[in-house]
A = this chain, B = another copy of it.
Amino acid sequence: MNDKRKILEVFENKYPDRDYTITHVAPEFTSLCPKTGQPDFATITIEYIPDLLCVELKSLKLYFHSYRNDGIFYESLTNQILDDLVAVVKPRYMRITAEFNVRGGISSVVEAEYYSDDYYDEDISFS
């Protein structure tokens, strides 16, 4: 398990018989551009359907803070957050949306999804 994943804590989902959705929106994410060392800023949104575990909110905040002085590209960042959270929380479904501030007159969004093996696309109710 990598060091960042160790920051993430979970608690038991008390309603595992019901498919329901949890969304966390973090508009204060910041990391560094790996090329220039300049700060990047983003809003990270996590949407998931828990299976047996939920992510603990304060540990999620600290997990995001751990990127503060890391140099990482937009696409890698989004996929890595998804991989880390899926590894620790083991959800039925999860989607990460990272909305990056304007750089060079262009704003960017990267969005990646995970489906557990016994879960189908048509069951997802996020809109």
Which A positions have Cβ atoms within 8 angstroms of B? Answer: 13-15, 18-28, 30, 38-39, 41, 50, 54, 57-58, 60-61, 65, 68-69, 74-76, 78-79, 101-113, 125, 127
A22 and B101 in contact, given A65-B38, A75-B14 (Cβ under 8 angstroms): no
A58 and B104 in contact, given A20-B110, A20-B112, A79-B15 (Cβ under 8 angstroms): yes
- Please indicate the chain B residues that have their CB under 8 angstroms from the CB of A125 in the complex: 111, 113
9 contacts between A and B (CB under 8 A): A15-B79, A18-B79, A21-B109, A22-B109, A25-B107, A25-B108, A39-B68, A61-B106, A69-B69
In the bound complex, how far is the Cα of B20 from the Cα of A74, in angstroms?
12
